[in-house]
Amino acid sequence: MPFVIVENNIRGQEMNAFRFKTMDDFREMLEVLPVPDTQAIEEAALRNSMLTKPAGALGRLEDIAAWYAGWQGTPNPSIETPCIVVFAGNHGVTAHGVSAYPMDVTAQMVENFRSGGAAINQLCDEVGAELSVYPMQLDVPTADFTSQPAMTKEEFVEALSTGWNSVKTACDTLVVGEMGIGNTTAAAAVAAALFDRDPEIWVGRGTGIDESGITVKRAAVADGLSTHLEFLDDPFEALRRLGGKEMAAMAGAIARARIESIPVILDGFICTAAAAVLEKARPGALDHCIAGHLSAEAAHGRLLDSIGKLPLLRLGLRLGEGTGGALAIPVVRAALRCHSGMATFEEARVSGRTK
């Protein structure tokens, strides 16, 4: 049965856990990344051509199966041990009134995760995924990025390391999610820094702010971009200065999954912004990722286009927590079941194409 693990504090984790010493250590890790198993992809393609269906009849499901085969290193991939990791962080930029909810909600939602009352708990039960929740020093929010870097270099590296250590090598599919009041503001700022420094494009309603709130949020993002302008050509500096601890942890987890050749299903806007940092720093770094869904946050589609990802689902979600990624697991699992479980024409004694 799925279960919840809640780590009390990133400083309270086991002392022998791996830690990056500097941002450059993390950069170096991205220089040489595993690639998919081409033989497994070829064998999966051959198997697909013999299954009892017209060529291409299962559409994107066929592509997903071949993609999974490459990362799992087998022509018959499957999902047996999916893991969902949720990182929770607080943001100093909320002092500007950028969210419809107070910062206290972050810690309250962590307790809701712990007691099994959140949406992601229900979805983990439904899809058979293990859930881990990491509060990222909720009593120490990031600094207000409109006037100073959101994280010190030490805080940033520690958050990256927490994400890195959160990934279990026994996991065969990873979804990373988040909880944090104010984090759509941070994600919008990071996305703007990476791709187009125009707050009008990237700022959305988040938890449901009104038009006056949108104006305040855009102003905060614009101030942040202006304050840190000379550093924003470096994707990691953009994340450190404008993002959140939970976003840095998500980037660390996604990078670790690549090192372990674990496929990742991306969640919504905030998760995608964190992932985009890796792609911007090292093109191809997200080849092991697919987009679980297109959220209702206005800029999510633009961000997915920027990193070349096509969403599997369009359900109008804007909750976070990894919920959209979790909902995509059954679709991916169905693709793999069809690919690995269907009979070939020969096995089923069904006549193949005549021409």
- CA-nearest of 292, 309, 308, 276 to 191 is 276
pTM of this structure: 0.94
The predicted pLDDT at position 212 comes to: 83
Residue 10 to residue 287: CA distance in whole angstroms: 28
Helix (H, G, I), strand (E, B) or coil at 235: helix
Contacts of 209 (CB under 8 A, 6+ apart): 98, 99, 100, 216, 217
Q: Is residue 33 classed exposed, middle or buried when 0-12, 13-18 and 19+ CB atoms within 10 A define those classes?
A: middle
Residue 105 to residue 229: CA distance in whole angstroms: 31
Cβ atoms of residues 207 and 101 within 8 Å: yes
The predicted pLDDT at position 354 comes to: 64
The predicted pLDDT at position 205 comes to: 85
The predicted pLDDT at position 350 comes to: 84
pLDDT under 70: residue ranges of the chain: 1-16, 352-355
Q: Which of 14, 321, 346, 347 is catalytic?
A: 321
> What are the CA-CA distances from residue 297 to residues 92, 95, 211, 264 (Å)?
21, 22, 15, 21
To the query of whether residue 321 is one of the catalytic residues in this protein, the response is: yes
> What are the CA-CA distances from residue 122 to residues 16, 94, 127 (Å)?
33, 29, 9
3-state helix, strand, coil in the chain (%, to 5): 50, 10, 40
Question: β-strand 289-291 against 4-6: which pairing, if any?
Answer: unpaired
